[in-house]
Structure 1
């Protein structure tokens, strides 16, 4: 097995928590380099890592095979284009790009340069989403009627990261948190027929949208996606109703919390939720009413990186394709248009 020499474009929260730990403990990868303009934060944790002071010098290193574009949202298109033109495989943090046009260009360029390009929609590997997916795949609820998914927080203050609070393209909770929920909805139900969106700003002095309420229209059912920074007591993150029953599950994946606490992927009990966060299934099967708590599947973001190894080394499909991620941006663009025009937008 030949490990993939991998480099990060930054070492902020994303690089430190969501990428470096999974790369460093996976024998299929080698955390080779990190782009840091002035600091040496990565080297303090990973002494063997090579520090680059410019993106150009990093991309010029022929030993690097895979680059993680985990920079501010507005730079994703620019950085990704440079990585692809350098002939490197790449992973782009969500959101993929600001626009569908940019996404289409990157997809075409990656194909031309024959490099693997994937977008890091890691929430596909959350414990609660994997469990919801299993319930729906088993047909436990009958024909779908309505699904509601929340990504709520209680964070009234503005972020210390200036780029997250500056009103530019690809900034705001719809791009940041909405990307996750939209990707999950598309994985479960496919692309909707139409979108209606209500966006707003509630935090004092905020200049970017920090609230969204989306309704996705499907031929047989509706999907609601919501997020607010003013939810101190959250509702269940997953509420699904069908013609035979319901499934209600808290949003309780533990991976981010464990990573913040310094726990490394692969540790004992990795990705296992507490028992009290189980989802409630209330349905009917073979004429019998069932009401029971369902064991939660383990969450594991390492599945994404294992998929990337297979894509780079064994010519398999990327774990999240550019086309998948572009569909997310398509819904976001429709939601922005809907909010502006106050009407339902057909896709």
Structure 2
């Protein structure tokens, strides 16, 4: 899907809230050889230059309506960083206007909508790319490397039997934003669940069964907006491992701990345990300038939260070693790949069909929770 145009990709970011100013605009500005920030969508700027100038001192054209964005012939790429309920309609409108699209997670409210957008992009020869940045977390990169090691490796976990992944928070009150509203694709399962499910699918592929336990644990706000979930994915024996694998994905809104559990992976030869979160989001929230992503400490985890691996030896003893997250987190790589796809027809590192499967699993988890039963995952 490469175009005839050359040079940096002229880009418009829809939304200058947390998503736009933290997860998208810094990389567009920090990669000027690949992207030019042509404009942003900000409906009601409260100052000259809007939030972008307030945050980074950069001035670009501010469009007030989506229609103005779509009518701008200079814009090649639209990044959708607006509230979840708008992702489908905004992405569809951008594709119909002939723009490439990067869509923040969750990409849509339903898998049917996601598949429709994928088909539309393909019919128009356009790129639609899901923003699954947590594939580029430093600890996830380290874990993927461990799971690829041969069984003869001293730190190999052997045949996998269980994978547990957490993204917990402590938040007693509502935030008072659109995320608290009962609109399509809202709730913790669509928000944090999109990350955890995507990582599980990257590691293990499509599961055989899904069980969901989804609730509003705080009993505040609209009861249909979930804040806590446990999702169980079952992989039959012989799919990924000689053993059946249970994948446990959890996010709890009332998790009080100084250092949260991130991963626990059990195998026949050992266990991998990781605490603490990837540092990139915290760094991006206080980024002094976009080029700070080139600082040596960007994406590097503290050794204090590196993982440990406990391996069973042939004599029954246990050897405990530190497993470093020594490769930095790499959110910029997603944008580099996006540019290579648009300009050079490269393969997408994050495929749209994979994002559609994430939404399908979320829908099945919600159905499972409502009906109180385990559901089989349809074959692709």
Smaller-chain TM-score range? over 0.9
TM-score by length of 2: 0.88
1:336 to 340, 344, 366: 366
Of residues 14, 20, 42, the one that matches 2:52 is 42
C-alpha separation in 2, matches of 1:24 and 1:278: 31
Take 1:81 and 1:46, find their aligned partners in 2: how far apart are those partners? 31
**In the TM superposition, what is the alpha-carbon distance from 1:46 to its structure 2 partner?**
4.5
Q: Is 2:76 aligned against 1:86?
A: no
Matches within 5 A, 1:104-183: 104-139=115-150, 140-161=156-177, 163-183=178-198
What is the aligned counterpart of 1:227 among 251, 264, 280? 251
Q: Deviations over 1:90-145 (max 9, x none)?
A: 10000011011101110100001111111101000111111111111114111110
Three-state SS of the structure 1 residue aligned to 2:206 is coil
284-293 vs 34-43, which deviates more?
A: 284-293
CA distance in structure 1 between the partners assigned to 2:112 and 2:304 by the alignment: 44
Aligned partner of 1:258 in structure 2 is: 283
Stretches of structure 1 that go unaligned for 5 or more consecutive residues are none
For residues 197 and 223 of structure 1, the distance between their equivalents in structure 2, rounded to whole angstroms, comes to 12
SS in 1 for 2:294: coil
Question: Would the alpha carbon gap of residues 144 and 106 (structure 1) be closer, same or farther in structure 2, given more than 3 Å must change?
Answer: same
In the alignment, structure 2 segments of 5+ residues that lack a partner are 1-5, 151-155, 237-243
Give the one of 303, 307, 313 matched to 1:279: 307
Secondary structure, counterpart of 2:210 in structure 1:
strand
- Of 20, 23, 34, 1:18 maps to 23
TM-superposed deviation, 1:285: 7.2
Q: For the Cα contact (< 8 Å) 2:52–2:59, is it kept in 1?
A: no
Measure the CA separation in 2 of the matches of 1:243 and 1:262.
Answer: 42
Q: Which of residues 344, 356, 360 is equivalent to 1:314?
A: 344
TM-score with structure 1 setting the length: 0.96
Structure-2 separation of matches of 1:285 and 1:58:
61
Q: What is the DSSP-based 3-state SS (H/G/I as helix, E as strand, rest coil) of the residue aligned with 1:142?
A: coil
Report deviation, 1:225: 0.2
**Equivalent of 1:291 in 320, 335, 341:** 320
